[in-house]
Amino acid sequence: ARMGRTVVELFYDVISPYSWLGFEVLCRYQHVWNIDLRFRPAFLGGIMQQTGNKPPAMLPKRAEYLLKDIKRMAKYYEVPVKVSGDDFKRIFSTSSLAAMRFITAIDMTKPEHLETLSREFWIRFWSQHEDISQPENILTVARQAGLSSELSQKALEMISSPTVKDRLKQTTDEAMKYGAFGMPAVVAHYNGEPHLFFGSDRLELLGSVIGE
C-alpha cells in the first residue's frame, strides 16, 4: 500500500445505471489517484424505502432528462449502458435483492471476483437487457465472470443464509449512516472524517476534496 492512501468506499447496487458509471470511473482512477478503493455492495431498495426516496424516473420530466443524461454519460465515459424509455418499467419490476446477496456472498468468500462479477451483472442488465433476478440468470452471470460452478453454487446457497442477509443489511445501513439516500454513494475518508458524494457526476469534486 502506498503511503497515506485515502480510503474511498463505493456503495452500489447493480440495478442502478449511475452506480455502473461511478464504478467504472473509480476503477480507472484507483490507478491514478492515491486511493484505496473498497467496493461495498448494498441494496438500493432498502435505502429508498428507509429514506422515503422515490425513483427519479417516476417524475415524467425527470425520466425524459435521465434518458438523455445516461446516454451522454455512457458515451463520455465509454461504458456500454444502453437505455430506453422501457428500462424504467424494467427497473421497477425487477428486484436486485438476490443479485446483491449473491455479490455479498462472493465478497465474503472470494472478494477478488467482486469487480468482475459486479461488472457482469451490469452488462447483463444494462447492455444485454436480460433478467438478473432468477437463480439461473445469476449463475449465467457468475459463469461469464469466470467463477467456477462450484463457487457459484456455494454462493447461491449462501444467499438464503442469515450471515449474508445480515451483511447486506449492515452495509446498506452503513451507507445510510453516512447520509446516503440513493446510489451510488461514494464515501471518502479524508482528514479523519467521511465525505459523502452522491451520484457519478461529483467525482472531480471528490478528487478536489482529497487533494487529487
**What is the per-residue pLDDT for 1?**
43
Domains and CATH numbers, the chain: 6-210 (3.40.30.10)
Are 186 and 26 in contact by the 8 Å Cβ rule? The answer is: yes
Give the residue numbers annotated as catalytic, written as ranges: 16
Closest CA relative to residue 96, chosen from 138, 144, 57, 139:
138
| 25/78 Cα distance (integer angstroms) | 10
Give φ, ψ of 151 to 5 degrees.
-65, -45
State mean pLDDT over 109-134. 97
> Where is average pLDDT lowest: 55-64, 67-76, 116-125, 194-203?
55-64
Task: Tell me: cis bond preceding 184? Omega within 30 of 0 counts.
Answer: yes
| Run of H or E including 64 | helix 60-77
State mean pLDDT over 78-95. 89
Mean pLDDT across the chain: 95
Closest CA relative to residue 168, chosen from 101, 110, 76, 71:
101
Are 26 and 37 in contact by the 8 Å Cβ rule? The answer is: yes
Per-residue pLDDT reduced to its tens digit, 90-102: 888 899 999 999 9
**What is the per-residue pLDDT for 3?**
61
State percent of the chain over pLDDT 70.
99
Taking the CA of residue 179 as centre, how many other CA atoms within 13 Å lie in the half-sphere pointing to its CB? 9
As given in the structure block, the three cell numbers for residue 180 are 446516503
The model's pTM? 0.95
